[in-house]
């Protein structure tokens, strides 16, 4: 397929490279064009503006937040104005449920398809095509896009024909991860202050009840207090919990644990340098409050 | 080994049976003696009082709470008075850190060994010798007891020479499980009210990021709203969070997520029939608050 | 002074009437013009559009939320376009800190004055000129506006030259009131379930330590479970806590009690008919969770 | 009346002095006898043991916690053993609901009266006979004790014939005060970080909506960050919230705000020197988390 790819951050670079490897014709665009160099070496063409990335069957966006997505979608040179009728915009970004619904309507009005396809996985998983993809959109459009998802991930879950459902699921998943971080942070503060070696503790719980990789990954970061450099930065985690709570408020679903997580992220943001830390750093706050 | 076994509830019955299978000589005692019948059929002897269960190398207790343990330990016919010097009391119960420390001192004064060895696993795991055991005590005593742990569990973690460390670890583990239940309850209320099928949701998250069995087990109970009969009753979960918070307060470790769980259990207890439910039922409260 | 007054709800009607009584020339505007009738009887002129209410020295707006304020400020016929240079817009509404800051800039660009002057008090206080007014803006503009504030309130606090400070203060005040409601709700659930008569309880605490009228007012509503009709509707309270938390997140100030209040309002919103209740109804949720 | 008075701390000393002033015959006892000297100068007799303080119509105890009360009630020389049949034990201490119920039974078995009469007020109020007293007990016993209450307080509320009701009410009152502290702490962190002068802020809110003295007292301490010396020490506040939550758990009443307060006190306790601070110091934690 002929694909435009917009957004070459830690995640997008890996995804675009895997699309190339799978034999697709990929034109990349990034606000800061230097990031495109390694991909050009792998066979990508470069677009000098967004319009140029909208010439193919699909334009794939992988951006940090609602603002960044809005910036490439709207305007005279934006995706809405420049993508052909019948072509497809696939959004891999973690954006708000509300924006996803608005994009669905806007693309429909423009005669374009819109697929929401956020991913689970950190940069290493993006590089090794091991992402999990949650896709929602019109069935035929999603079916056509499956080869792309196969190229970048280990498994694709088609969740709904309503695009925003994929965003809601993605947000809820990040909430679940943040809950793991918080629970580990509290448990490790408790047993650590109680005299138990927290690395041994982590070995025990992750080789018995909590065998999911998230426990090992985040437990290890907390045990080592290794919150820099950030694999997934705290402000992004804060954004995701904010969007989760916004969706929950719109649906009238009280989520007290999400509220607690929100307060943790704000506490982190108030610390000097807090914005540079990995979101795992909220797992260090219980220990701090305990005077450790 | 010659073992007395006190406490033939859902967990203890399976454990005693596996000790018999491993060839040990087991004398069982239960407050309501009928529960001993199946074990007698498997070769157990029956003790008509606690003193009678204290004639061997080891007395193993598997009881519901601090009160039940205190009741068999103290008094003229209790374990402290009747167990031989040099013999060992193994406590498999989930009891308070404080009681564990007191038992350590009391047994030391009586010239007896005390091993704290709480277990992770539900009744089915006890029956099939698939428990995880967390053991703490004097090294030589623990070493001698290893064949018993091998007989009842799939893996034994020796965590410390300080007995109460095992209890703290066990409590923290139950806290982590309850945190999983709460996080799933909130996430499933959110996506469910947002129009996503929660069974499909559960399939997706447990086949991607949250592969640990606890997510499948408790997620399934929440999705099906199947909280009866109780595999692990809510009042026991409430007790464990209470003991976790008591230990945390003694150590000056604030645990806001544990506080939230405590409030959930109390809310459950205030419902008619709440005490009969599985502790997974706290995972149904977010949906209830959301009007689902 | 020659004043336009926009927004004749429960609060605005009383305020406009008191401006008339004080001898000012008042032209009123309301989206649904019938509400203007009683004021016309008291000497007000009626404006048939917003522009018509912008002919004087001051235009005073008293509206429900950000959206309503934006709707009268912007557009060809809006306040920004139609108010004379050097004239003043006084905003009495409880709006976001962010909107207040934006209005400040917009009016400055248009050569107009902007005073933010939110009020404390329920409709009865507005009718009897017993409001408390918190005003912020350029000193000379505020000084000129003082006779208006004197006409509608019992006391005016000039808090800052930065307009949005008044909005932040107002939001924090509503947070404090909601905190009183929540604390009373929990305390009364506790003592009520413990067998104490909650009306007697309320008499005792409000005649000893908690003599502020808010305790009497809201305690009484909770004790009587009298949450309809709403003096201040729950969705407005929910909005104010949302705006408080938004301001707090922008400033990186974690407010766990505000988070709890937010969850309470969402729980209320999820109940059938919850949106019609007085915000005091969050004080009934503890009793409900306690099975009362 | 002939009164024994046990417990001459900051509160008890003032109360005993006021009983003397009212013309009663007072025999005082304190574990550290030096504290009795000023009262002897005012006409008190001194008891060299608890039994000696139990010779009159009434023995009045004013002690720090459950342990201290238990220590003077039980034993061969304790109040239960030494107080005459028909005489009355008045407990002014803030103790658990559970202990109050146990004392009620124990005194009834011994043919003695028991009145629970906790007080609201800080040491200055005790010295100036300005306490509020909440009394519960058998009507005739309470009636006889009224002159004593009149001597030490400004107002007595007879709440119930069930003694423990007075303790529940007292605990709930301290919960309400702690809630005021927390809410002020969060509000002042918010407006302070937002650029508002917090002393001016406090003036405004306490001269408008929050006129109860607790707002002035605690708001002032928070604004000045003046948490030493302690008028009411944080560990006592922590104890009271713990007892509130214990009573609430026994009654199955979830109190999430009380849980939040509990976590705040534990955070304070984990700080170096936290135990020396006034309980108002929990009102400084929001500012700390906000990086102020």
C269: closest CA of chain A, how far (Å): 6
Mean pLDDT of A276-284: 97
Closest CB from A256, A271, A289 relative to D291: A271
CATH class of the domain at D168-289: mainly alpha
* % of chain D beyond a pLDDT of 90: 98
Q: Which residues of B touch D256 (CB under 8 A)?
A: 259-260, 263
Mean pLDDT of A239-255: 98
- Predicted pLDDT at C231: 87
**Which one, of D183, D207, D196, D182, lies nearest residue D262 by Cα?**
D182
Q: Which pTM was predicted?
A: 0.96
What gap in Å lies between CA C266 and CA C287, rounded to an integer? 17
Residue B231's pLDDT band, with cuts at 50, 70 and 90, is confident
What gap in Å lies between CA B105 and CA B164, rounded to an integer? 11
Taking the CB of residue A188, how many other CB atoms lie within 10 A of it? 25
Which ranges in chain A belong to alpha helices (H)?
10-21, 37-41, 66-73, 79-82, 97-109, 123-127, 139-152, 163-193, 198-206, 213-223, 234-250, 256-270, 285-289
pLDDT at C77 over 90: yes
Q: Which residues of C touch D190 (CB under 8 A)?
A: 168, 172, 175, 244, 247-248, 251, 253, 255
Q: How far is C-alpha C262 from the geometric centre of its chain's CA atoms?
A: 18
Query: Nearest chain D Cα to B247, which residue?
Result: D266
- Predicted pLDDT at C195: 96
Mean pLDDT of C203-220: 95
Per residue in D163-217, pLDDT tens?
Answer: 999 999 999 999 999 999 999 999 999 999 999 999 999 999 999 999 999 999 9
* % of chain D beyond a pLDDT of 70: 100
pLDDT at C122 over 90: no
C2, C85, C155, C170: the active-site residue: C170
- Predicted pLDDT at C129: 97
- Predicted pLDDT at A125: 94
> Are D197 and D137 contacting, i.e. CB atoms less than 8 angstroms apart?
no
**Which one, of B121, B127, B115, B132, lies nearest residue B60 by Cα?**
B115
Residue appearing with tokens 């809510």: B234
Lowest mean pLDDT segment, chosen from B96-105, B174-183, B207-216:
B207-216
Q: Predicted ipTM? A: 0.96
What gap in Å lies between CA B47 and CA B54, rounded to an integer? 9
**Which one, of C189, C207, C212, C223, lies nearest residue D133 by Cα?**
C207
Say yes or no for a CB contact (<8 Å) between D263 and B269.
no
Say yes or no for a CB contact (<8 Å) between A263 and C254.
yes
CA–CA distance from A86 to each of A57, A111, C11, C165 (Å)?
Answer: 8, 6, 53, 50
Domains of chain D, residue spans = 2-161, 168-289
> Are A161 and A136 contacting, i.e. CB atoms less than 8 angstroms apart?
yes
Mean pLDDT of chain B: 97
A203: Cβ contacts below 8 Å, ≥ 6 apart: none
Q: Please check whether the domain covering B2-161 is classified as CATH 3.40.50.720.
A: yes
Q: B259 and chain D: CB distance < 8 Å anywhere?
A: yes
Best mutation target, D247, D249, D258, D261, to test chain B (most B CBs within 10 A)? D249
Say yes or no for a CB contact (<8 Å) between D289 and A272.
no
Residue C2's pLDDT band, with cuts at 50, 70 and 90, is very high
D61: closest CA of chain A, how far (Å): 35
Query: Nearest chain D Cα to B239, which residue?
Result: D249
- Predicted pLDDT at A122: 87
Query: Nearest chain A Cα to D267, which residue?
Result: A289
* % of chain B beyond a pLDDT of 90: 98
Mean pLDDT of B14-27: 98
Per residue in C22-41, pLDDT tens?
Answer: 999 999 999 999 999 999 99
What gap in Å lies between CA D42 and CA A248, rounded to an integer? 66
Say yes or no for a CB contact (<8 Å) between C289 and B267.
yes
Give the total residue count for chain D: 292
B240: closest CA of chain C, how far (Å): 21
What gap in Å lies between CA B216 and CA B123, rounded to an integer? 17
Mean pLDDT of A216-231: 96
Closest CB from C256, C270, C291 relative to B270: C291
What gap in Å lies between CA C119 and CA C170, rounded to an integer? 7
Say yes or no for a CB contact (<8 Å) between D169 and C290.
no
Q: A246 and chain C: CB distance < 8 Å anywhere?
A: no
Mean pLDDT of chain D: 97
pLDDT at B228 over 90: yes
- Is C2 one of the annotated active-site residues of the chain? no
CA C237-C239-C243 angle, to 5 degrees, is 120
Subunits touching D (CB < 8 Å, at least 3 pairs)?
A, B, C
Tokens of A64: 């940090």
Helix (H, G, I), strand (E, B) or coil at D58: strand
Q: Which residues of D touch C260 (CB under 8 A)?
A: 256-257, 260
Residue A54's pLDDT band, with cuts at 50, 70 and 90, is very high
pLDDT at D231 over 90: no
Query: Nearest chain D Cα to B254, which residue?
Result: D263
Closest CB from C270, C289, C291 relative to B290: C270
Per residue in B154-164, pLDDT tens?
Answer: 999 999 999 99
What residues are paired with A60 via a beta bridge? A5, A90
A81: closest CA of chain B, how far (Å): 30
Per residue in D26-44, pLDDT tens?
Answer: 999 999 999 999 999 999 9
Say yes or no for a CB contact (<8 Å) between C212 and D209.
yes
What gap in Å lies between CA B50 and CA B78, rounded to an integer? 6
Query: Nearest chain B Cα to A247, which residue?
Result: B190
D195: closest CA of chain C, how far (Å): 8
Write the DSSP assignment of D97-165 as a string of letters: HHHHHHHHHHHHHTT-EEEE--EE--HHHHHTT-EEEEEES-HHHHHHHHHHHHHHEEEEEEEESSHHH
DSSP C174: H
Closest CB from B189, B194, B248 relative to A190: B248
Q: D271 and chain A: CB distance < 8 Å anywhere?
A: yes
């Amino acid at each position: 397929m002929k694909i435009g790819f917009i957004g070459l951050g830690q995640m997008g670079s890996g995804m675009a490279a895997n699309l190339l490897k799978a034999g697709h014709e990929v034109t990349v665009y990034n606000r800061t064009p230097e990031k495109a160099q390694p991909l050009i070496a792998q066979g990508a063409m470069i677009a000098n503006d967004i319009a140029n990335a909208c010439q193919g069957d699909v334009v794939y966006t992988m951006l940090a937040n609602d603002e960044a997505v809005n910036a490439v979608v709207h305007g005279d040179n934006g995706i809405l104005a420049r993508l052909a009728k019948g072509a497809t915009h696939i959004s891999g970004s973690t954006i708000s449920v509300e924006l996803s619904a608005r994009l669905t309507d806007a693309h429909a009005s423009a005669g374009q398809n819109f697929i929401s396809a956020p991913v689970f996985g950190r940069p290493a998983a993006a590089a090794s095509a091991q992402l999990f993809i949650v896709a929602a959109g019109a069935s035929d459009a999603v079916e056509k896009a499956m080869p792309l998802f196969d190229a970048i991930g280990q498994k694709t879950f088609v969740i709904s024909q309503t695009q925003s459902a994929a965003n809601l699921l993605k947000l809820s998943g990040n909430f679940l991860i943040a809950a793991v971080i918080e629970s580990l942070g509290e448990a490790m503060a408790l047993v650590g202050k109680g005299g138990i070696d927290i690395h041994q503790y982590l070995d025990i719980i992750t080789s018995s009840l909590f065998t999911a990789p998230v426990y090992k990954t985040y437990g290890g970061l907390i045990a080592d207090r290794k919150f820099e450099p950030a694999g997934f930065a705290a402000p992004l985690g804060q954004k995701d919990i904010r969007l989760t709570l916004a969706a929950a408020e719109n649906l009238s679903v009280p989520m007290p644990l999400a509220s607690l997580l929100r307060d943790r992220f704000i506490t982190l943001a108030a610390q000097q340098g807090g914005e540079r830390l990995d979101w795992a750093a909220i797992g260090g706050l219980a220990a701090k409050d305990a005077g450790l």
